[in-house]
Chain A
């Protein structure tokens, strides 16, 4: 019983403890301006991870989300003169299209999702490098202003966008037939097929959702910075997978959630970075701490999975 409680809520306890520790050590950590900072730092990862969670729940993986984010940001640069509406629509379209390609290859041509999207991670990044010429490029000014807008002076617009996405996707996963089918496919694809669930279609949709979320994540980052840098989305796929798994979603599919799961996972990673920063720890230590926590989460996931069998 205690063991189960620990497996299910362990990382919530960890977040809580970390917040207490950081608050006690650093007097800057609990300030409103710092939490605004935390929300900005988390919204990019949160947006990408929300869509990716759907793919993981069906038992697949999409490593190309970071590169899709970069392409989306490049599209924002290309359409800088067309006004914000056109840019936003173009970004969503590009995300959906790239997700469609991933999903088609994996669901219909039955390619392995890990290897396919690993290859596409590199290819998509290449496309963006061609578009941007591998340098920093400006995006439209209006979007850039939106990217730095804060409601009531402290609540960032971009965080609100990611929060709406997270809640929306969680709603879909919990209350619609599509959501149940995703879990069913992740649990037992063969049975799902036998029951007449449209397995291929559901998988395709899950990759489209991940593609759109990845693209929006890139757009949010470009809006915040006002420009597209070559760092956009680099390594984001791994951070996202880590956050998702920390949040309790299984790499083997069939179980997990976006809210509270993935949301808390992202928060944990961001709080660690932010807290260590406000404590004045050298930034070179962050990857070690974050990596250790990711390792712990994945280790717990595998224990959970082997013990339930």
Chain B
């Protein structure tokens, strides 16, 4: 019998400025078992695993491997202790062969000639490791020719090649197809049979139930539940994940049936989106909710033509006619607040004024030479600064000097300047402080009252619940539930997104 390895994290506490990310969290795993780690985004799963992976240092608590205390100062230290981290985003060397990718940090050298690699050894050991994982990938092909799932197998093979005993999977299945998922599960079970310790992070409860032996549930930085998977039901885990303190807020916004405005028909894209249908009314705030990997972002990108769709039609009611429009035409009619404003929302080096007028410059371009009328530009910008109370020393201040909330308001001003009929909001309050959050929320509700249709995507459940008139719940690329009225509660939305009833 092989000596089973044991890893223990004892009373780990991690404090970030202002937040206790982890509060006395303990975890124990033994070789040959698969541990499922569950929790919503921000529950502390990643922080805990980053401590185990050597990325962060814990403020309190210790890590024991085989009853010996270890201290990690860098990810390399963790690797040397046999910990491998399989990230969602894979690290690989595109043009190089599968075998090279597996052994890159430890290429086998020729026994007789100095400096020369042994190709034969390289491919042979790669084949051995891959067959151990039950894979028949040819180690000679360049890794870029493999599918995402196969690339993940290579990453796992790399962990095996280093002889690592502890393998952490961080949401490994979110970018995989169903067949690839099954393959992954087989591989993980192979690893388990090899006696490795496996920690499997996922917010798909079904996967945890299917694959894992024991589970740990994190909520708000605390370990709120653990036990054997066999002794627990799906709904019990869901309750643990969400917790009981659910705030039900009364909605004072009245939804009344107005005329239909836009109809989305049969949107599909590969296996990310399957046959999505919905309608938005004038003046309605339609929330789109789902976990990471459920197809939220893909849906928006497809609607706006940023990614290619396989099928789908957008129909818009204009002047009492129903017109079918292309995603690009939709983009011209709408405002799109993107989820990362610093990357694709702002011209950081430009003034507040230029940012506000940038989406509708043709309004200010005069004469045959299209010279910008800076006076009317300035006037419009200042009126928006007043209207949305954007706090800035002047309209000519560089926008990067503003706070996140004020930058976000300037983005709203930019789109409102275009007088859109539709606003598409992807994480509209990400990275802004509480005060600005509320201002933006009431701004959005006011805009809806003025008749603008709003498509709201957010990973913050509270925001969706408080603002939406209707909510579409996405799971695995389909709309699994449509909630309206009293059904819009954190509890129901989370449960349906997780796959409960």
Contact = CB atoms under 8 A, between A and B. Distances in A.
Contact of A188 (B92, B105, B107): B92
Given A196-B76, A196-B105, A308-B144, A180 B95 contact: no
B41 interface: no
Contacts of A191: 91-93
A194 B93 CA distance: 12
Contacts of B105: 195-197
A180 B144 contact: no
B420 interface: no
Nearest to A255: B95
B93 A187 contact: yes
Nearest to A308: B144
Q: Is the interface of B mostly helix, strand, loop or mixed?
A: mixed
Interface residues of B, number: 18
B92 A180 contact: no
B71 interface: no
Interface string B94-132: 111000100011010100000111010000000000000
Interface in A244-275: 254-255
A302 to B, nearest CB: 16
Interface in A157-178: 175-178
A22 interface: no
Given A187-B95, A254-B95, A308-B144, A195 B104 contact: yes
B92 A177 contact: no
Contacts of B94: 187-188, 254-255, 308
B464 to A, nearest CB: 33
Contacts of B92: 187-188, 191
Nearest to A188: B93
B305 interface: no
B104 A197 contact: yes
B117 A175 contact: yes
A180 B76 contact: no
A124 interface: no
Contacts of B96: 180, 183-184, 187, 254
Contact of A254 (B93, B115, B116, B119): B93
Contacts of A196: 76, 105
Nearest to A179: B117
Given A184-B96, A188-B93, A191-B93, A176 B117 contact: yes
A177 B91 CA distance: 19
A183 B117 contact: no
Contacts of A308: 94, 144
A178 B114 CA distance: 12
Nearest to A178: B115
A185 to B, nearest CB: 9
Interface in B55-102: 75-76, 91-96, 100
A255 to B, nearest CB: 4
B100 A180 contact: yes
Contacts of A177: 107, 109, 115, 117
Contacts of B100: 180, 184
Interface string B122-148: 000000000000000000000010000
Given A187-B96, A194-B75, A180 B107 contact: yes
A184 B115 contact: no
26 contacts: A175-B116, A175-B119, A176-B115, A176-B116, A176-B117, A177-B107, A177-B109, A177-B115, A177-B117, A180-B107, A180-B117, A183-B95, A184-B93, A184-B96, A184-B100, A187-B92, A187-B93, A187-B94, A187-B95, A187-B96, A190-B91, A191-B93, A192-B93, A192-B104, A255-B95, A308-B144
Given A175-B116, A195-B104, 14 more contacts: A175-B117, A177-B107, A180-B96, A180-B107, A183-B95, A184-B100, A184-B104, A187-B92, A187-B93, A194-B75, A254-B93, A254-B95, A255-B95, A308-B144
The 9 closest A-B CB pairs, nearest first, are: A187-B93, A191-B91, A255-B95, A195-B105, A184-B93, A254-B95, A176-B115, A187-B94, A177-B107
Interface of A: 175-178, 180, 183-184, 187-188, 190-192, 194-197, 254-255, 308
